[in-house]
Amino acid sequence: MTPPSGPSNFIRDIIIDDLKTGKFAGRVQTRFPPEPNGYLHIGHAKSIWLNFGLAAEFGGKTNLRFDDTNPEKEETEYVDSIMDTVRWLGYDWEDRLFYASDYFPQLYEWALQLIRAGKAYVCDLSAEEVRKTRGTLTEPGIESPYRNRSVEENLDLFERMKAGEFPDGARTLRARIDMASANLNLRDPVMYRILHAEHHRTGSQWCIYPMYDFAHGQSDSVERVTHSICTLEFEDHRPLYDWYIEALGIYHPQQIEFDRLNLTYTLLSKRKLLSLVQNGHVRGWDDPRMPTLSGIRRRGYTPEALRSFCGAIGVSKTNGIIELGLLEHHVREDLNRRAARVMAVLRPLRVVIDNYPEGQVEEMEAVNNPEDASAGTRRVPFSRVLYIEQEDFREDPPKQYFRLSPGREVRLRYAYFITCTHAVKNDRGEVVEIHCTYDPETRGGNAPDGRKVKSTIHWVSAAHAVDAEVRLYENLFSKENPNETKEGEDFTANLNPHSLEVLAGAKAEPSLAGAAAGSRYQFERLGYFCVDPDSAAGRLVFNRTVALRDTWAKIQSRDQKGAGH
């Protein structure tokens, strides 16, 4: 066994204990059991990380199992994207890919076994009547009039259900447990329903389908899962899973519940994410604003960052909510280590350096990654006409603004000190170009006379720049809890109208020409960016993954608050 190395948590402690006592003969077998009814989201990453991470740490195995018991909402598209995503996160189920639908014949046999034991019966009540007779937390339910059917009659009816003799919803198979149980899940739950629907794998072979609760625990049992890890809302279902397993006398996995991941400004419900896609609020499941793993990936988040985030948030027995900022922190930390630094200008302002020789080009040496010496250096062309960021120039600089303004000297990153002489405006009075002089003595960024400048700004050479579209993102929702709405509104009322801003005229240094989709960079002073698959030859598209912390924005908002705005 590899020595334990993962972050400690209560599930890990249970596994360590079970290994000590030999509860499962030293085995650790887990599974990740998604329902293929949507794309995976960041919440699933926590479950994947736990199931695959814990098993790997203790020399165990993890299965990927699609819980495909609901033919109406499931699609092969989802199956494919889920597999792709789990692999991207860095995990491998090897040859252990399973489907709950593989177990339909076995589950059917087990249903017959329970009928023969007098523990299941065919009920003719409608779904509505079943609901009505279920009782409440304070009142017991009412026993179904069909509860005492003979075994023979039940076997006959169940076989005819399977043979397709009855329409959808006409009958169900129910477990015969206890209509007065304090746990509502034990009040004769439905095991099978009639549904004449095509299944993505079994086609029209079946017209009765097991309920999730009748399939889930037994699927774990078939796969000899040791630690069946699931989220807290299934705690109340555990007695039912245990009841089925014991009534059938089959191998008994141990279910352990943990807290779901919730994030501020984020919705993690496949149903709601699907409605965002279907109603065109986002561009698709992989829209970089989506909390889906395909969206997060397209935005430029790394699997390493997600795994370290999962390690940091911990695992507990009570539901809480995690700051979105913590996720972004892990993304920044990881990208800071690995992303190449480059210069790009999002909102270009033309700068002419009047005393720089026309036609001259110098190659400036630039460091690719100060965090990683092995990343080396590159050469960035410098010439007489450059672009800088519009916001790096103010004609009328406020206090504490140290960037370029008339008469002010600043450093151009990896190049020279420049001093602004004057600005050129258009008819509307907007600055369209500024003029500067440079000090040839300051090549590389230092003045021989030791004079200092208070700021360093980035730039690109106009003649050499490559054009780019840059997509800036804000939180998809403007409320910390997107579900908190006024009466008559739904969560879409909390969508942030500014969640996407497209900058069509950005300019990037020439080393970015032809960058492959998925490549990640730090644009100096601006943030981390990732090449979007919408890029084509000669047309780069970048997503802003996450901004760098912007001290100026902080000063500005503090000043505004101070001024009573």
Residues belonging to the active site: 35, 260, 270
Instruction: Give the Cα separation of 292 and 498 in Å (integer).
Output: 19
Per DSSP, 270 falls in state H
Minimal CA–CA distance to 244: which of 224, 222, 215?
215
* Residue facing ligand ATP at closest CB distance: 43
Q: Which stretch binds ligand ATP (CB under 6 A): 14-22, 52-60, 194-202, 265-273?
A: 265-273
Instruction: Give the Cα separation of 15 and 529 in Å (integer).
Output: 40
- Residue 231 or residue 446: which is nearer to ligand ATP going by CB? 231
Q: What is the DSSP string of 524-547?
A: TTTEEEEE-TT-BTTBEEEEEEEE
User: Environment class of residue 362 by beta-carbon count within 10 Å: exposed (0-12), middle (13-18) or buried (19+)?
Assistant: middle
Q: Does 86 bind ligand ATP (CB under 6 A)?
A: no
Minimal CA–CA distance to 314: which of 10, 4, 551?
10
**Which residue type does 94 have?**
E
Q: How far is the CB of 518 from ligand ATP (least distance, A)?
A: 25
Q: Does 270 bind ligand ATP (CB under 6 A)?
A: yes
Q: How far is the CB of 168 from ligand ATP (least distance, A)?
A: 23
Q: How far is the CB of 224 from ligand ATP (least distance, A)?
A: 18
Q: Does 46 bind ligand ATP (CB under 6 A)?
A: yes
Q: How far is the CB of 269 from ligand ATP (least distance, A)?
A: 5
Q: Which stretch binds ligand ATP (CB under 6 A): 241-249, 268-276, 277-285, 466-474?
A: 268-276
Return the one option of Mg ion, ligand ATP, none that residue 443 interacts with (CB less than 5 to 8 A, by type): none
Q: What is the DSSP string of 289-348?
A: TSSBHHHHHHHT--HHHHHHHHHHH---SS---B-HHHHHHHHHHHHHHHPEEE-EESSE
CB count, 10 Å around CB of 27? 18
What Å distances lie between residue 160 and 155, 167, 242, 249, CA to CA?
A: 9, 11, 28, 26
Q: Does 474 bind Mg ion (CB under 5 A)?
A: no
Q: Does 282 bind ligand ATP (CB under 6 A)?
A: no
Dihedral angle sign, alpha carbons of residues 194, 200, 205, 209 = negative
Q: Does 254 bind ligand ATP (CB under 6 A)?
A: no
Q: Which stretch binds ligand ATP (CB under 6 A): 40-48, 276-284, 288-296, 456-464?
A: 40-48
Q: Does 35 bind ligand ATP (CB under 6 A)?
A: yes
- Residue 43 or residue 303: which is nearer to ligand ATP going by CB? 43
What Å distances lie between residue 73 and 68, 76, 119, 274, 290, CA to CA?
A: 9, 10, 30, 11, 20
Strand partners, 121: 174
The helix (run of H) or strand (run of E) holding residue 174 is: strand 172-175
Kindly state the number of chain residues that form the binding site for Mg ion, as judged by CB under 5 A: 1
Q: How far is the CB of 171 from Mg ion (least distance, A)?
A: 25
Q: How far is the CB of 100 from Mg ion (least distance, A)?
A: 12
Residue 443, both tokens? 């090549």
Q: How far is the CB of 271 from ligand ATP (least distance, A)?
A: 6
Q: Does 34 bind ligand ATP (CB under 6 A)?
A: yes
Instruction: Give the Cα separation of 348 and 336 in Å (integer).
Output: 25
CB count, 10 Å around CB of 127? 12
- Residue 189 or residue 288: which is nearer to Mg ion going by CB? 189
Backbone angles phi, psi at 357, to 5 degrees: -60, 130
The interface mask with Mg ion, positions 6-45, x = CB under 5 A, is -----------------------------x----------
Return the one option of ligand ATP, Mg ion, none that residue 276 interacts with (CB less than 5 to 8 A, by type): none
- Residue 261 or residue 344: which is nearer to ligand ATP going by CB? 261
Q: How far is the CB of 376 from ligand ATP (least distance, A)?
A: 41
435-473 burial: b if 16+ Cβ within 10 Å, else e: bbebbeebeeeeeeeeeebeebbbbbbbebbbebbbbbb
Q: How far is the CB of 50 from ligand ATP (least distance, A)?
A: 8
Q: Does 47 bind ligand ATP (CB under 6 A)?
A: yes
Return the one option of Mg ion, ligand ATP, none that residue 475 interacts with (CB less than 5 to 8 A, by type): none
Q: Which stretch binds ligand ATP (CB under 6 A): 175-183, 264-272, 411-419, 468-476?
A: 264-272
Q: Does 144 bind ligand ATP (CB under 6 A)?
A: no
Q: Does 261 bind ligand ATP (CB under 6 A)?
A: yes
- Residue 234 or residue 356: which is nearer to Mg ion going by CB? 234
Among 11, 130, 211, 230, binds ligand ATP (CB under 6 A): 230
Instruction: Give the Cα separation of 233 and 185 in Å (integer).
Output: 12
- Residue 290 or residue 512: which is nearer to ligand ATP going by CB? 290
Q: Where are the alpha helices (H) located in 104-256, listed in sequence order? A: 104-116, 127-132, 151-163, 212-222, 238-248
Return the one option of Mg ion, ligand ATP, none that residue 456 interacts with (CB less than 5 to 8 A, by type): none
Residues that bind ligand ATP (CB under 6 A): 33-35, 43-44, 46-47, 230-231, 260-261, 268-270
Residues making contact with Mg ion (CB under 5 A)? 35
